[in-house]
Structure 1
Amino acid sequence: MASAPNSTNASDAKPSDSDPTPSGWMDRVVNTRLETWRRWWRVAVLETVDQEAVIEKRREEAYTSPRYLFMLAMSAGIAILGLLLSSPAVVIGAMLIAPLMGPIIGAGFALAIGDYSWLRGSAVALAAGTVLGVALTALIVFVSPLQTVTPEIAARTQPNLFDLAVAVFSALAGAYSMIRGREGTIVGVAIATALMPPLGVVGFGLATANWTVFSGALLLYVTNLMTIALVATIMARIYGFSARLSEKQTRWQTALIIAVFVGLAVPLFFSLRQIVWETNAARIIRTTVLDEAGSDARLSHIEFDLDADPVTVSATVLTPNPRSSAEQDSEAALASRLHRPIDLTLTQFRVGTGAEAEAIELLRAREDSQRALSEESRSLAERMALIAGVDPGEVTVDAEARRAVVRAARIPGAGMATYRALETRIQDASPDWTVRIEPPLLALPTIPFDGQDLTAAGRDALNLVAWAASRRGQPVSLTGGSSETRAIAAQLLEEAGIASVPVVGGPVMQAGWADELEDDAAPPS
């Protein structure tokens, strides 16, 4: 029997709010929960943010100003010195005063609300700060005798996805703090962590014409800059700052942000994959060589170059049972596991087990240590010779005692204080060494007194006299002043281990050498 024309098939009926099916009930629960969350977010979060006040404050800090440029220059100078000295503490000090948070977060907020005049101002501030930072750091590196790629510098030349994550978390902290009115120095440090050290390394690479360092640090800097700005844009939109944008502008922004993040993530992903591959390859090389050398073998020394084609490996093992096929088997196993051609050189030393093998390993370790110490000694001698104005061969280096001494040449216009400052500088750069610079025989300074008391300048002058006398190993004379002031000065010098010869006469005390000054001695500094 045919159905009525106006009858409706049950399967074509639209679900109603009273739909008893599990899917209909689940939809109602989800919609209710979402609506409840949206209501809570609007009332408890969005309506508690004074958007106008936040925008106004962000504008004030987003533009170029003399204070901004000065503080950025000081931060860049401190950062590059910390990188050259490989001192994390100094690098952190640079981050504490870096003023980059204002313009970079400002750029993110400007993009979120579509204020392109503000965005241009922030971009100009960032560009000016970047150029100033790179130029200043490059100048400092160019005139510095220290131009070695330190671990602090090397750490910023191969960016990867983890660096992107650092920038994301820094931006989240910065944007949230600014929206909620809780910004401060610590949040600024989070932003500067991602920007100031890479900026300094860019300047280092430019000054030393090391384009590998330059390009790697520049990629890291640009990645962090773009990431922080775009994450700030996302946070601003989440907190309702994009209400002024049309739906078309919002879609355009979303597409732009996604495209930039994908563009940044792709090279960083490949960089991270390369780092992971190199780490695993190093582990595979060590374990494979040991496995093929035998269970009783010990790895004494290994070097490899993963960038070479074929990969070159040089290894030395200590074993009681050398195997003639160990090199061939290890090379084949490595080629199979790394999927790369391998050029392996394996040296096997027959040793007994236990104490004998340990003794040989200890001897090899000492040889490696001596080799490293010799290289360190050579580098220190070159730096001291450069500062002292002499040939490296004139620097006396005792590697075992970690002591280096040089007799400095006369520098036009330099006084004793200059040579002491040079010694302090090289000592700070080599804290594990005892560094001594022997100054030329220059005139010593006057020692001012206030009545019978040493002034601050007088105490500094006595300290300088004591330093010069100790470096030259000569006694000094004290001419002028009263008997009481000469006695005070002589006692202070004696406490420093310096012999002095008081000489009566004159109202002003003048320090000099107990022997006659050279005819060409410089005037007092």
Structure 2
Amino acid sequence: MNTHTMAFEPRILSRWWHLNVVRTVDHDGVLRQVSEEAGWSGRYVFLILISAAISLLGLLMPSVAVLIGAMLLSPLMMPIIGLGFGIATFDFVEIRRAAAALLLGSIMAVLLAVVLISISPVQTVTSEIAGRTQPTLFDLLVALLSAIAGGYALIRGRGGTVVGVAIAIALMPPLVVVGFGIATWNWTIFSGALLLFLTNAVTIALTAALVARLYGFGSHLSPAHTGWQVILFVAAVGLLSVPLGAALKRIAFEAVAQRQAREILQQRFPEGARLSLMDIDQSAKPMRIRAVMLTPKIAAGADRALAEELGRAFGRPVDLHVDQIRISPEPGAAEAAQLAHAADAPKPSAAEQNDRAVADLALIAGISTDMVHVDPTARNLDATAARMPGLTLAGYRQLEARAARALPDWTVHLAPPTDVALSDLAIDQGMIDPEALDLAAWASARQLRDVEVAGGTAARRDAITTAIQSRGGRAVAVSNGGTLRWRWQPPQRRREG
């Protein structure tokens, strides 16, 4: 056997690792540091409370920056690492200390979240909360790789790396979401967030134990002890992989189903049709799909034919219903046809013209004629459009423009429904979107209510408020803290025609 071959023999590699890596580690110093930071202390309790409170605020706002601030404190990381090192060295005293600190700290964080959420006026499931209720295998892999980095950083004395690991794993936010689920009696949120926390905690502890063994901790243990440690790691990761893998499979199926359903629905309807809204509930039996299609031509019997086609594509029964909303095939086509017809017809009386204008606006707005306010003297028409699924403020503004084209002799004011949300405004990057300001000004003028600009600096609030007012809208600056944002004030009584 030549020297090149011998260099790769396990015995030679093991000896090289022991001489050049393991012997360079200060094992006593690392164990002393872990023991000092992994147990219960006043500092630990303080950090638990502060981190949980900051996490709750970040989840409810929602704000990624605030959540990162809570993750940087990372009070739960060291008890979990301590638990891993206790498993690596079979130090049952250290295992009990670290496990007790982890359990009590977790209970404190959950109880604090339950109390604060119970008295909070805001109990909305935000995007940050929802994002921590569906853990997948990807979360397990993140925890696994981050624990390797964290164990290495601790053993080699590279403290800066631990900060990045704390951000990547995120232990406190899932615990706070567990408290949110308890406070709001939401089992889905509770169970999903608890699974995410357990995935992170168990994976970190066991991976830290394996990294510690690799760096020579627990060298006094027998091969049998090492075998049990490996079995524990494989069994725990295997058990966690079952629900996490099922969740990943479900999410992947939903993504594929969304794409396939959109393609099949779009092919069924004529050119110019567009899918406005689609919701898929694959947990229902049969799978439930609800959609809104804006189409220039109503397709008779579409639900049954599409349900059969989607059932063949998904390999399971599908309960499908498509709300078809007829639109003009091209802008102004319906209005042009109305004008051409009017040119050949006898000129109607003033009363008939008023009634026809009211009827046309009611048809466009999707409301009854008695909901249209008319001022024949000023030639004004005023109404609030019906709620149309999937239609945004911009869509309602286009609806008003369409009504104005159809009624060129009238001044048309078509207000959007009061429950339509304001469009997002990119104001945190130092930019103000002029189109969003135009839209907010138009909607506030139509609904007769103010856009409330809150948070940020006084100069920014005043600038946005002035910009909306200069566009004919209604806005008021509110001296609130936090991120710069805007929202509707409660609607006021509409003016009478």
TM bucket (normalised to shorter chain) is 0.5 to 0.7
Identity %: 40
Following the alignment from structure 2 to structure 1, what is the Cα–Cα distance between the partners of residues 185 and 43? 31
Shift of the 301–111 alpha-carbon distance from structure 1 to 2, 3 Å rule, reads: closer
1:403 positional shift: 3.4
Equivalent residue, structure 1, for 2:308: 332
Contact 1:78 1:94 in 2 (8 A): yes
Per the TM alignment, residue 376 of structure 1 is displaced from its structure 2 partner at its CA by 5.2
Q: 2:193 aligned with 1:144, yes or no?
A: no
What's the counterpart of residue 58 of structure 1? 34
Deviation at 1:151, TM superposition (A): 0.6
Residue 374 of structure 2 corresponds to residue 374 of structure 1: no
Question: What are the residue-to-residue correspondences of 1:173-322 with 2, within 5 Å?
Answer: 173-184=149-160, 187-188=162-163, 190-191=165-166, 193-320=169-296, 322=298
How many angstroms does 1:368 deviate by?
7.1
Distance (whole Å) between structure 1 residues aligned to residue 174 and residue 109 of structure 2? 10
- The 1:371/1:343 distance shift into structure 2, 3 A limit, reads farther
Matched, 1:432 2:486: yes
Structure 1 contact 84–148 (Cα < 8 Å) conserved: yes
Residue 45 of structure 1: CA displacement?
1.2
Residues in 1 aligned to 2:170 and 2:89: alpha-carbon distance in whole angstroms = 25
Instruction: Give deviations 1:305-353, integer Å, cap 9, x for gaps.
Output: 3332222323333445544343332111101111222222234455554
**8 Å contact from structure 2 (residues 449, 488) kept in 1:** no
Shift of 1:37: 3.4
- Does the 8 Å contact 1:305/1:312 carry over to 2? yes
Residues 402, 321 of structure 1: CA spacing in aligned structure 2 closer, same or farther, 3 A cutoff?
A: same
Contact 1:167–1:194 (Cα < 8 Å) also in 2: no
Report Cα offsets for 1:332-389 as digits up to 9, x if no partner.
1101111222222234455554546999999944487787861659xxxxxxxxxxxx
Partner-residue secondary structure (3-state), 2:83:
helix
| Structure 1 CA distance for aligned equivalents of residues 93 and 392 of structure 2 | 63
C-alpha RMSD of matched pairs (Å):
3.3
Structure 1 stretches lacking a partner, 5+ long: 1-16, 18-24, 378-396, 406-422, 437-525
Give the Å deviation of 1:55.
1.1
Distance 1:47 1:74 in 2: 39
Matched residue type, 1:57: Q
What secondary structure is seen at the aligned counterpart in 1 of 2:237?
Answer: helix
Equivalences for residues 378-397 of structure 1 within 5 A:
none
Counterpart Cα distance in 1 of 2:103 and 2:482: 34
Counterpart for residue 514 of structure 1: none
For 1:414-493, what aligned pairs fall within 5 Å after superposition? 428=482, 431-433=485-487
- How far off is 1:296 after superposition? 4.8
Instruction: Classify 1:99/1:301 alpha carbon distance in 2 versus 1 (closer, same or farther; 3 Å).
Output: closer
CA distance in 1, matches of 2:447, 2:164: 42
Q: How does 1:97-112 map to 2 (within 5 A)?
A: 97-112=73-88
Structure 2, unpaired ranges of 5+:
336-363, 365-387, 397-414, 423-445, 455-477, 491-497
Distance 2:305 2:176 in 1: 47
Counterparts of 1:73 and 1:362, CA distance in 2: 43
Distance change in 2, residues 1:241/1:290 (3 Å): same
Is the 1:374–1:399 contact (alpha carbons within 8 Å) kept by the matching residues of 2? Answer: no
Q: Which moved more, 1:240-249 or 1:320-329?
A: 320-329
Structure 2 match to 1:134: 110
What is the number of equivalent residue pairs in this alignment?
Answer: 373
Aligned to 1:49: 25
Q: Of the two, which has the highest radius of gyration?
A: 1
3-state SS of paired residue (1:99)? coil
Tell whether the 8 Å contact from 1:95 to 1:189 is kept in structure 2 after alignment: no
